[in-house]
Structure 1
Amino acid sequence: MDPEGVRELFDRRMRREASPDGPGCRVERVGDVVRQTGPPDAWNGVLWSGLTAATADAAIAEQIAHFTALGREFEWKLYAHDAPRDLGDRLRAAGFTAGPREALMVAESERIAALGTAPPDGVELVPVTDAAGVELMGEVHDRAFGTDGTALRRRLVRQLAERPGTLVAVVAVTVADGRPVSSARMELVPGTGFAGLWGGGTVPGWRGRGLYRSLVAHRARVAADLGFRRLQVDASDDSRPILARLGFTELSTTTPYDYRPDATTG
């Protein structure tokens, strides 16, 4: 893999030329910023920017005004290779809060699919195709990450119903009693060649048994069969070493900068 070339391809196809990732969303380019605006339970935020030291502050203020007028919380998805170099400092000065930094990692889907990692004994992988399956995923999300997955549930149910070809979701359940113990999803954007791996989580008590690797390999097989050449992951510190051992290459890092409009606005 040519990391620099693949990173440029990722920036172009997945950021500068991004398509909406959910029902009711729109992507638009305003000046040197590409942003997505959608319903409250969708992802709202800045996907890409081509700013300079002279234009950054005005562009930041413009995005704050846009999303605040709609009463939306939003995220500025900042990559380490974005310009200007002090963009993160400028976002913090404007009232954004930085989240945990993650690694942008990419791998060839056929290579990962060939690893053939099976789930551990006593567990089976079940495709998620309806609201009942999404609820199982939500249960895993809540237990694995300790956060409220209500908005995620709503978004996934809508996506399965309205844009089924853009989402592949799977939940690992125990064979004995059908309890959900791990889950993950894959976002597909036709024409990009990239399949995004998201939401891989395992409940306490089932970690360290290979479920995460199994879910990665499963989605890689589906991606390869559907003609998506590359897998993309925003990897946490926990998942990054696992993905590196599987053959993923780190291309950059990405940090979410979150902005919450004043409660009295919108």
Structure 2
Amino acid sequence: MDSVAELAAAYDRQVGSRGFGARGDFLGRAGPPAERIGTVLRRFLPGQGGMVLAEDLDDLTGGQLDALIAEQCAYCTKYGLPLEWDHHEGLRADLPTRLEAAGFKPQDPVAVMIGDAGDVAAAEGTRARLPGDIRLRPVTRRAEFEAVQELMRTTRPGTDWEWLPDALEDWLTVTGDPCAVVVAESEEGEVVSAGWMRFHTASEFASLWGGATLPSRRGQGLYRALVGHRAALAAERGFRYVQTEALPTTRPTLARLGLATVRMLTPYYFTPDMA
């Protein structure tokens, strides 16, 4: 296994440089193209919000960076949309202070984690016996994607998942970075856990997205099994690594399965009513 610094650099070079198209959330879906604003890439989607990807801010003076941030806030205020701007240790150290001065609010840190796909697929935790009434299977039809959408709504209330079925359909058939969707399903056909992934062609990486389990089914090894199943799919297709962004709730499980934290991201959110 490469060092965490080497893994982070490889991911940035091979996948991160693709911008929003490599994502598996609403910002990776089809829609209006991203805009280049100076040294940042910005994308907004109607009714959802937007995100800024910063490439290199080191050459900007403090005043220039403040002006760039203010421009993004003005755009959000004009259209009434929220904006996310992530910071990590590789970006300039004064960015968080300047974001907060402009009205951005820090959120819980997110761990960028990477593991060897074959090792994750073979990890002991992924092979634990599942409940007898549960099976894992890939899904490919619109109605099945809508069932995943309903699961996400149930487990993550307050978030709009209207975009998800369309995005999964698009990603499943694109020639760039295709998708696979896997569910844990009960004997009655109820989707009780689900996750999807993007296969980043011409790279060593596949990325894991989603990952939700009904509260009544938690603690039964479903999340671990879905991670392992998707890692096996990646390895079968010749991808060396799996990558994901993990909240504190899933980080310990992923670490036990062999994924290492290569970077900590702190998301900063701006919405017009917070400024």
Same fold (TM over 0.5): yes
TM-score grouping bracket, smaller chain normalisation: 0.7 to 0.9
Contact 2:205 2:239 in 1 (8 A): yes
Aligned match of 2:261: 250
Cα RMSD over matched residues? 2.6
Contact 1:23 1:158 in 2 (8 A): no
CA 1:158–1:250 in structure 2 vs 1: closer, same or farther (change >3 Å)? same
Aligned pairs, number: 260
Runs of at least 5 residues in structure 1 that lack an aligned partner in the other structure: none
1:144 matches 2:155: yes
**Secondary structure of 1:184's match?**
strand
Q: Supply the AA of the counterpart residue of 1:64.
A: C
1:114 matches 2:122: yes
TM-score w.r.t. length of structure 2:
0.83
Aligned match of 2:51: 45
**Secondary structure of 1:26's match?**
coil
**Secondary structure of 2:217's match?**
coil
What is the 5 A alignment of 1:152-163? 152-160=163-171, 163=174
CA 1:22–1:191 in structure 2 vs 1: closer, same or farther (change >3 Å)? farther
Contact 1:15 1:47 in 2 (8 A): no
TM-score w.r.t. length of structure 1:
0.85
Contact 2:179 2:196 in 1 (8 A): yes
**Secondary structure of 2:31's match?**
coil
Aligned match of 2:65: 56
1:34 matches 2:35: no
Aligned match of 2:252: 241
- The worse-fitting range, judged by mean Cα deviation, of 104-113 and 58-67 is 58-67
- The worse-fitting range, judged by mean Cα deviation, of 222-231 and 200-209 is 222-231
Q: Supply the AA of the counterpart residue of 2:53.
A: L
Task: Give the drift of 1:68.
Answer: 5.1
Aligned match of 1:82: 90
CA distance in 2, matches of 1:224, 1:97: 38
**Sequence identity percentage:** 34
Contact 2:117 2:242 in 1 (8 A): yes
CA distance in 1, matches of 2:235, 2:253: 20
Task: Give the drift of 1:94.
Answer: 1.2
Task: Give the drift of 1:186.
Answer: 0.8
Runs of at least 5 residues in structure 2 that lack an aligned partner in the other structure: 22-27
Task: Give the drift of 1:71.
Answer: 5.2
CA 1:37–1:190 in structure 2 vs 1: closer, same or farther (change >3 Å)? farther
Deviations 1:217-248 (A, max 9, x none): 11101111222221111111111111111111
